[in-house]
Structure 1
Amino acid sequence: MTLQKDTTQKPSSSQWTMWMSMITMALAFVIWSMVSPIAPQIQKLYHLALFDKSLLVAIPVLLGSLLRIPLGMLADRFGGRRVYTLLMLFILIPLAGMATAKSLPLLLFWEVLLGAAGASFAVGIAHVSVWFPPEKQGLALGITAFGNIGTAIAGFIIPSLYLHVGFSNTFFIMMIPAVIGAALIAFFTKDPVRKVETNSVHTPIVHARESFWSNPQLWLLSFYYFITFGGFVAFGNYLPTLLQQQFHLSPVSSGMRAAGFVVLATVLRPIGGYLADRIAAQRLLQVTFLFLVIGSFVFAFGLHQFTLLTVAALLIAVMLGIGNGTVFKLVPHYFPSQTGKATGIVGAIGGIGGFFPPLVMGAIMQASGSFAGGLYLLGITCFIALLIALFTKKRQKGDHYVRTGSTSA
């Protein structure tokens, strides 16, 4: 006898939960990403050193990634609606703290807490996944994760908001979307009613007696997401620097191109989930990593040819978006009863993956005078992931464990 969540309630409940979670995630990601676009202005306001500015940008992203683990577990245990609502209300505290901080230590303290907004990803995925059967989770979770677009939105609106209302009022104003998000989750979403079934249609792929932490799929998906989401974050953050140094673009021009990269990758994420519902997900990952290898090497060769570099960047954005959607199609598939916990871990490792590439790229650029070595390293890493995906495909005979789009009886 297994405990399952009742997903036979009226379809509108699942749709409302999906769309409201996506909107709330977008609002949370705007808040999570709001420091980076105005970091130079904050540096001047607080007379910060260059390292202090880097720390200011890194703290919310890193902490938001790590907090995905415990908050994902809480969503599994207490329900996504309750945890999501409380998370959005909690964000009000660091927003008020940032608005009134008068020193760097206080600013950094409140920024640590502001990083909690990034954990909305794990809570949102856990909240939505329980409403959809495996053959529909790819598209549903891809739509939910479209809330990542908040990162790009922050780049567009936060600098203008800062320019018009100043530092403190910018953070006070951003309390409004936090309240809106809490209200959307509290009043327009539900947690499905649990019921006991003696013969579940959706048999968990991972045997109940197998240890969660020793399950290799957890670490394989984490590695894949380290590349796909880590690459998404890294390119979004580092592309302006690369374009300014290589082609002497203005900060505004390079920033707009980086925002375009983020938007394209985000739009392709639900499409990746949709495709994973209909094509064997492991096969889709193989195609993703193959084209990422090609895109990385073409990008490296095109460092002095703007058109070739643009084509490579667009290819990489498309494949990273599809890869992100595919990975999170597989998370609830392999961990149906621990989706929040697994999402937290995979999401945290993916978020951390966004920090290593910029550091590596900067170190290689300083040592060699070229960004090419970092891009070659990305291509080699994607090639390793391709080999792993091919190997695991052979181990999973006939795609039985990963072709979830055709599992209906």
Structure 2
Amino acid sequence: MTSKAFLKAGHWPTLLASFLYFDVSFMVWVLLGPLSPFLAEQLHLTASQKGLLVAIPLLSGSFFRPVLGTLADRIGGRRAGLLGLSVTLLPLLLGWRYASSFEHFLGIGALLGVAGASFAVALPLASRWYPPEYQGLAMGIAGAGNSGTLLATLFMPRIATHFGWHNAFAFAAVPVLLVLVAFALLARESPAPKAPVTWKQYKALLAQADTGWFCLFYSITFGGFVGLASFLTVFFVDQYHLSKVQAGDFVTLIVVCGSFLRPVGGWLADRAGGYRVLLGVLLVAGAGLCALSTLPALGIAVAVLGLIMAMLGLGNGAIFQLVPQRFAGSVGTITGLVGAAGGIGGFLLPSQMGYLKDHAGSYGAGLLAFGGLTLVVLCVLLRLGAKWLQEWPEETVRRAGLFSLRSVWASEPAD
């Protein structure tokens, strides 16, 4: 694969537009994370309330993703994207001018889920322009828009410190407006034929066991990424007593490790197979989370979190190399379903970390629970490898990099 061949294979302006749409939407989606210490200070929130505050947008994003994905199938990804960006401005206006209580911010968080639903439009809009051999890289580039988290974690604490948290919502609306214009100018629909998706087709996909498995895997990788990105500002302020701006800077550094490795994950998956990449991701991330649960010194915690986020970023790219291989005729529909599961995973992580902090007295309990779950999912994936080897078409098996540990062990020569 060469860069020239990749550029010729699809439509780079649409790929760029999809990246920008996802990037600015992701910034807005996680906005309450870096602003939560300011809100918690003014509203006197408990750890559980902080966790719920940053988790609500992630949960509502899971609800809106299938809705926006279905809308994109009906009216086209370009129109759906323009609508999504327009609606995203509403909660920013409410936060700027009207919000003043915990309940108000829960409502704003629910509306911010529309920004999270951009995933179900941006990735299919870009990927439909590219053939199967470039799917991993194309979806990885579009999906690297999760780097929008950096804009939120780096700039919002500073803006809130100097101009007040109310005005931070107004500042966030500016890049949304700019991307709305750019998306209108750059994005185009793929000429590849596309039939509207019916609820019967959703039902058929949900009836397949592999749909559930991919939802589980993505709830760990993407859910872990967005859940940690949303909650780490609270974690650093509460656990290590950093200032709000310092906490945002550390979160930015950590998120860099995961955001820009998503396309690398797709690239590696195109070469080694998404299955093999995902196995390594789950092993390292799970072990890292268990180590982090000991709540080490700040420098060690930042390094371990950087490694964990790097693995989760790679895993996100690897999963969406696998998805088009397994569900070639239903990429848009399955993307909405799997993406929704990622949002649910993101909701559960900060929610349980806040809850366990209030009831167990430490954030370590929540980190250990998530690390243990990640390692259990690794074992599930290992068992599924042998099953998929028997069920998937030979070409899909090759591209996915499937193997069975039982077969590997059986092929080793005896001593």
TM-score tier (shorter): 0.7 to 0.9
Contact 1:30 1:151 in 2 (8 A): yes
1:72 aligned residue (69, 74, 87): 69
Shift of 1:116: 0.8
2:28 matches 1:27: no
Residue matched to 1:212: 205
Residue matched to 2:411: none
Shift of 1:402: 4.0
Give the distance between the partners of 2:264 and 2:316, measured in 1 at CA. 10
2:83 matches 1:86: yes
Residue matched to 2:396: 401
Residue matched to 2:351: 359
Residue matched to 2:410: none
Give the distance between the partners of 1:130 and 1:229, measured in 2 at CA. 22
Contact 1:76 1:126 in 2 (8 A): no
Name the CA shift for 1:174/1:363 in 2 (closer, same or farther; >3 Å).
closer
1:230 aligned residue (218, 223, 233): 223
Name the CA shift for 1:247/1:58 in 2 (closer, same or farther; >3 Å).
closer
Give the distance between the partners of 2:298 and 2:52, measured in 1 at CA. 31
Shift of 1:38: 2.6
Q: Which has the higher helix share?
A: 2
Within 5 Å, which residues of 2 pair with 1:18-167?
18-42=15-39, 50=46, 56-101=53-98, 104=101, 108-166=106-164
- Larger deviation, residues 78-87 vs 24-33: 24-33
Shift of 1:223: 0.4
2:330 aligned residue (320, 328, 338): 338
User: Could you say what secondary structure the match of 1:403 adopts?
Assistant: helix
Contact 2:55 2:350 in 1 (8 A): no
1:288 aligned residue (268, 277, 281): 281
Give the distance between the partners of 2:202 and 2:108, measured in 1 at CA. 41
Give ranges in structure 1 of 5+ residues lacking alignment.
1-7, 197-207
2:296 matches 1:299: no
1:377 aligned residue (369, 375, 379): 369
Name the CA shift for 1:357/1:405 in 2 (closer, same or farther; >3 Å).
closer
Q: Render the CA deviation track for 1:248-288: whole Å, top value 9, x for unaligned.
A: 44443333222211111111111001111111211221121
Give the distance between the partners of 1:290 and 1:44, measured in 2 at CA. 37
| TM-score, normalization by structure 2 | 0.81
Give the distance between the partners of 2:49 and 2:381, measured in 1 at CA. 40
Pairwise CA RMSD of aligned residues?
3.1
Contact 2:32 2:230 in 1 (8 A): no
2:175 aligned residue (150, 165, 177): 177
User: Could you say what secondary structure the match of 1:193 adopts?
Assistant: coil
Moved over 6 A (4+): none
| TM-score, normalization by structure 1 | 0.83
Contact 2:9 2:130 in 1 (8 A): no
Q: Render the CA deviation track for 1:77-105: whole Å, top value 9, x for unaligned.
A: 32211111121122233333333326546
Give the distance between the partners of 2:29 and 2:175, measured in 1 at CA. 12
Shift of 1:140: 1.0
Residue matched to 1:259: 252
In structure 2, give the amino acid aligned to 1:121: F
- Larger deviation, residues 248-257 vs 13-22: 248-257
Shift of 1:25: 1.4
Shift of 1:115: 2.5
Give the distance between the partners of 2:321 and 2:377, measured in 1 at CA. 18
Give the distance between the partners of 1:385 and 1:38, measured in 2 at CA. 32
Name the CA shift for 1:107/1:244 in 2 (closer, same or farther; >3 Å).
closer
Shift of 1:112: 2.9
Residue matched to 1:347: 339
Q: Render the CA deviation track for 1:222-271: whole Å, top value 9, x for unaligned.
A: 10011111211232233344445554444433332222111111111110
Shift of 1:69: 1.4
In structure 2, give the amino acid aligned to 1:140: A
Give ranges in structure 2 of 5+ residues lacking alignment.
195-200, 402-415
Identical aligned residues as a percent: 35
Name the CA shift for 1:261/1:402 in 2 (closer, same or farther; >3 Å).
farther
1:314 aligned residue (301, 306, 310): 306
Give the distance between the partners of 2:127 and 2:176, measured in 1 at CA. 23
Contact 2:281 2:311 in 1 (8 A): yes
- Larger deviation, residues 325-334 vs 54-63: 54-63
Contact 1:279 1:403 in 2 (8 A): no
Give the distance between the partners of 1:75 and 1:158, measured in 2 at CA. 31
Give the distance between the partners of 2:105 and 2:181, measured in 1 at CA. 28
Give the distance between the partners of 2:321 and 2:24, measured in 1 at CA. 23
In structure 2, give the amino acid aligned to 1:39: S
User: Could you say what secondary structure the match of 2:113 adopts?
Assistant: helix
Residue matched to 2:269: 276
